[in-house]
């Protein structure tokens, strides 16, 4: 689908209406909004899976002598989750 939209910048209401039209087609074609680097949304099952994955990684880290309760370890795991979600 291709749309050509001409906007008269002298007509303030026309600019607002054009924005609404473009926003509607963006939402319709893109499905969902892209996430920022600090925003992740997930459902209950996804959250449970994430917790299980973190617990497994923490257990393996402890066996290797890494402090899994450190902020650094949690940040590394969070960065992996954010990268996975943003890639979707």
Per-residue pLDDT reduced to its tens digit, 41-82: 678 888 888 899 999 999 999 999 999 999 999 999 988 888
Beta carbons within 8 Å of 77's beta carbon, 6+ residues apart: 54, 57
CA torsion sign for 47, 51, 54, 56 is negative
pTM: 0.51
CA dist 59 and 57 (Å) reads 5
How far from the centroid of its chain's Cα atoms is residue 26's Cα? 17
């Amino acid at each position: 689908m291709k749309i050509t939209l001409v906007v008269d910048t002298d007509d303030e209401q026309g600019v607002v209406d054009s924005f609404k039209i473009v926003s509607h087609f963006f939402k319709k074609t893109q499905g969902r909004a892209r996430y920022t680097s600090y925003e992740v949304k997930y459902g209950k099952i996804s959250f449970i899976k994430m917790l299980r994955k973190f617990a497994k990684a923490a257990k393996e880290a402890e066996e290797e002598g890494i402090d899994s309760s450190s902020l650094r370890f949690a940040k590394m795991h969070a960065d992996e989750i954010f990268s996975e979600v943003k890639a979707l």
